[in-house]
Amino acid sequence: MKRYLIFRLIELIPIFFLISLIIYFVLNAMPGDPLLTSRLENPRALVKDPAKIAELRKYYHLDDPLIVRYGFWLASFIKGDLGFSSMYKQPVLKIILKRLPNTLTLTVTAWLIGLIVAFPIGIYSAVKKYSFFDYFFTVLAFVGISLPTFWFALMAIIVFSVILGWFPISGVQTYGITGSWNIFVDKLKHLTLPALVLGLVQVAYWVRYIRTSLLEVLDQDYIRTAYSKGAQERRVILKHALRNAMIPIITIIALDIPYFFGGALIVETVFSWPGMGRLMYEAVLASDYNLAVNCLMFIAVITLLSNLLADILYAVVDPRIRLGAKAV
């Protein structure tokens, strides 16, 4: 297990380098001189003195080849020096760390909602294969996959916030509320709608995965054996079948974590939820390249870590990998 983990960790390093390289090169495909753009944006920073310009160019390594600049950039990223945001006039790391908890609250809640809804439906659809229930949720899964997230979110706001008035329209909390219990309830109210939207969009995919992998297991000989030994259906499904079906399911669910960040980007924007996704969107709108790229790098790192998590969980639930200790 330990060897397997170390192997996986080492494997992440070159992938991280390649991802950052692609991101950096894409960004540098942009026409224009970064020094010039920043001066155009902020006339007060206009530097006319050629000597000063040369000094700045040297300071930012602007005359070095692309790959050298990439090296400097990556080195400072790893050291945690993410530079300055032109929009907020603050260090990028500080802004990102301030927004990250909001995104985590939203995505984790949405993820849990997704799991709680998807598992019973997926299991029941597999057990009652080709029943009305199964067909109904098959079609509903297609509906879920085809729903544009922003439209779903907007319609949810119109129906539940504007017309019915059950939930607040946007934001994280109402200001001026006192008492820790009241604040908690208020925050929960703000969280409900965005988390539901984000979670339910993912349910459609998961129900299909859970159904398919459980169906595959239910065909196996040992399930028939369990039945013929007289085990109760409930026990066979939950103990014998689901445990084995969990292996692919867990991988998919861990691998889907990054999709939540993509989805969160839209949901956060629609609900004015001050998370990382919205931050990145604001940065893109304001052409704050440094902030936007660092947000992307953060999301990419989270993606890699969730891939690692998927591998670890896979090893935990599947003894063949853990005990074999050989990386596949």
Kindly list the residues in this chain that would bind another protein in the complex (CB under 8 A).
15, 18-19, 22-23, 26-27, 29-30, 139, 142-143, 145-151, 154-155, 157-158, 162-163, 169, 258-259, 261-263, 265-266, 269-270, 277, 280-281, 284-285, 287, 289, 292-293, 295-296, 299-300, 303-304, 307
For residues 1 and 36, which CB has a smaller minimum distance to another protein in the complex?
36
Shortest distance (Å) from residue 54 CB to another protein: 27
Shortest separation between residue 224's beta carbon and another protein, angstroms: 21
Considering the complex, what minimum distance in angstroms separates the CB of residue 328 from another protein?
15
Residue closer to another protein by CB (options 226, 280) is 280
Choose among 260, 279, 254, 256: nearest CA to 269: 279
Other beta carbons within 10 Å of 129: 12
- Please, what is the minimum distance in Å from the beta carbon of residue 175 to another protein? 18
Report d(CA 120, CA 132) in Å as an integer. Answer: 16
Least distance from another protein to the Cβ atom of residue 319, Å: 25
29 φ/ψ sector (left φ>0, alpha ψ -120 to 50, else beta): alpha
Give me the least distance between CB of 228 and another protein, in Å please: 27
Alpha-carbon distance of 96 to 77, in angstroms, equals 13
The 3-state DSSP class for residue 231 equals coil
Least Å distance, CB 217 to another protein, is 15
CA distance 315 to 267: 33
CB-nearer residue toward another protein: 19 or 117: 19
Q: Please give the single-letter amino acid code of residue 13.
A: I
Nearer to another protein, 135 or 184 (CB): 135
Q: Is 214 exposed, middle or buried (0-12, 13-18, 19+ CB in 10 A)?
A: buried
In the bound state with another protein, the residue whose beta carbon lies nearer, of 240 and 289, is: 289
Beta bridge partners of 84: 91
Q: Which helix (H) or strand (E) holds 91?
A: strand 90-91
Neighbours of 176 (CB within 10 A): 5
> Which residue's CB is nearer to another protein, number 51 or number 164?
164
Given the complex with another protein, which of 109 and 306 has the nearer CB atom?
306
SS3 88: coil
